[in-house]
Structure 1
Amino acid sequence: MTVLVLLGALALAIGGCACVVWAERGGPRWARVVAYVTLAVGELLRRSRKNRSRSLTRTSGDG
């Protein structure tokens, strides 16, 4: 079951990346929407990772 979830997530990521490339080349409106969502989710994940690493650094330095 876990493998199916991971394969689904991988398929969504690959599809999102394909839509980003297609939208850059002037693809249809739905591809531009998917590309926007893909880039926004990527930015949110990047920010949450930065915040998590900063909080871990502060916590470990208090000891």
Structure 2
Amino acid sequence: MTVLLLGALVLAVGGCVCVVWAERGGPHWVRVVATVTLAAGELLHLARRSRRRSINRSSGGGD
């Protein structure tokens, strides 16, 4: 379990480093990794937002 969490942390930090490096004009592979990292973050954001809305609907809460 610890190895899995450590691997996820390394991937997240590496992705963030690539995003910053790509902003400064890094090589092509860095821009690809940065694009994948940003897309994954956006997908997680949308999934969390969708889940939150479905929980509010099922519990009778209003937005």
TM-score class, shorter-chain normalisation, is over 0.9
Aligned-partner Cα distance in 1 for 2:9–2:58: 33
In structure 2, the partner of 1:14 is 13
Q: Cα RMSD between the aligned structures?
A: 1.0
Moved over 2 A (4+): none
The unaligned stretches of length 5 or more in structure 2 are none
Aligned-partner Cα distance in 1 for 2:52–2:2: 28
Count of residues in correspondence between the two structures: 61
Q: Percent identity over the alignment?
A: 66
The unaligned stretches of length 5 or more in structure 1 are none
TM-score, normalised to structure 2, is 0.95
